[in-house]
Chain A
């Protein structure tokens, strides 16, 4: 088992089986974020911070669209039950310890987005010999790059003044979300013969 995609074909492309699983996971995760940001986005913006909701919604949608078009999809019957497990993991779960229900849901969304944007690094799976002109390769690099920027909204919110009284609850929820997302990502990668390299994966 390698830490990277492969073996690549003669043109430096990632095997379609690996492309399919990885893209399906990312579509599921970013698609869930797009849906949740869409629900949170008002028709008429009333606060400055809501402009970020608009940006997050369209960026998540762009990632889904990009993957749908850049991936060399292969038939994969196991995806049905894997996707069901992934989708269940993205369900809204109000963060415990925050009495305000709407705030608890907002924190839950932010922790999920933080875990996906910070904890999932698809470009780090690309070996150095991957074809830099292949759409799937470029898509993964773009997703990882954009995730780093999208992440800033979650960091600002989760570290913000409004959540200082709930710092322990927020930190615990975020650590839990990271662990859950990393576990699903690791299991999916192992199913296509890629070993995870995240040190935090070994945490009890």
Chain B
């Protein structure tokens, strides 16, 4: 198990796939760990990508700073990992908290990236997300990791995913509970206490950017992704049908296919962001369709959009 060193801390990472291939770097969400990207590793390596996964500071097998975890340290850990990949094209994707770290990396080191894919992501903390974050932190404090998982699971995945595992939820939660410590998760959550919105800096991201948002994501709803779409010049927003916040867990085949196609389009010179809004197919390999012209993609009912 290789480690990067950042100060006195070690960051566990893994590289798979051919060393001379374009690379995909995948950044975990808050309560996740690198093994949750296994299906992505397999799918992307099969399509001739090199895949880099790692545990953020405070997660899984990486070191867990005892009292403070600064988001700048997470960005630095990510920089160290990307520096390991040589000079080839690098595509960076992250989910939720990991998407935020990816955004921060792109703002600071964007010229190193060939493409960026923020998923279930946000650049600011409006009141709903701020209060939800506080409530989730309180849940962790009062009820431990297991209670936090109890809240996140039904918020983040669909009935179709939950139904078959409803009688074995303890098994579903166990690995996440084992590898995550309350104090480390709390430190990760409290790294938002002095959070400043990234919105004013998003326009400096000039790399091609595909923003993925679950249709039914109410933890980080459409409006938060819209900020990214409007501010990042070469971006498109892709809505994943019938998906919630954690669609990377629920729809790995579709999401890995979208990641691969985005990178292939960028490398072939076919990518055109145009701040367009698309609807992803239900299954991997299907066609993306443009969001119907004239309708407001921020609404959940078919309302005519404002004339641009």
Contact = CB atoms under 8 A, between A and B. Distances in A.
B182 A118 contact: yes
Interface stretch (B18-26, B63-71, B249-257): B63-71
Contacts of A191: none
A148 B68 contact: no
Contacts of B67: 155, 158-159, 170-171, 174
Nearest to B10: A203
A171 B69 CA distance: 11
At the interface, is chain A mostly helix, strand, loop or mixed?
A: helix
B144 A175 contact: no
B268 interface: no
Contacts of B190: 159
B60 A118 contact: no
B141 interface: yes
A33 B178 CA distance: 25
Contact of A118 (B8, B61, B63, B181): B181
A105 B68 CA distance: 21
A128 B181 contact: no
Contacts of B10: 199, 202-203
Interface in A137-195: 144-145, 148-149, 151-152, 155, 158-159, 170-171, 174-175, 178
A148 B185 CA distance: 11
Nearest to A176: B66
B142 interface: yes
B278 interface: no
B183 interface: yes
Contacts of B299: none
A46 B174 CA distance: 44
B66 A114 contact: yes
B8 A203 contact: yes
Interface in B54-109: 60-68
A36 interface: no
Interface residues of A, number: 25
Contact of B141 (A118, A149, A174, A202): A149
Nearest to B146: A145
B248 interface: no
Nearest to A163: B67
Contact of B66 (A152, A175, A199): A175
B186 interface: yes
A193 to B, nearest CB: 19
Interface centre among A118, A148, A175 (most CB of B within 10 A): A148
A93 B183 CA distance: 23
B64 A200 contact: yes
A45 interface: no
Interface in B160-174: 170-171, 174
Contact of B68 (A115, A124, A128, A171): A171
13 contacts: A118-B182, A118-B183, A128-B174, A149-B142, A158-B67, A159-B67, A171-B67, A175-B8, A175-B66, A178-B66, A199-B62, A200-B63, A203-B63
Interface of B: 8, 10, 12, 60-68, 141-142, 144, 170-171, 174, 177-178, 181-183, 186, 190
Interface of A: 114-115, 118, 121, 124, 128, 144-145, 148-149, 151-152, 155, 158-159, 170-171, 174-175, 178, 197, 199-200, 202-203
Given A118-B66, A155-B67, 13 more contacts: A114-B183, A115-B66, A128-B174, A149-B141, A151-B183, A155-B186, A171-B67, A174-B66, A174-B67, A175-B8, A199-B10, A202-B10, A203-B8
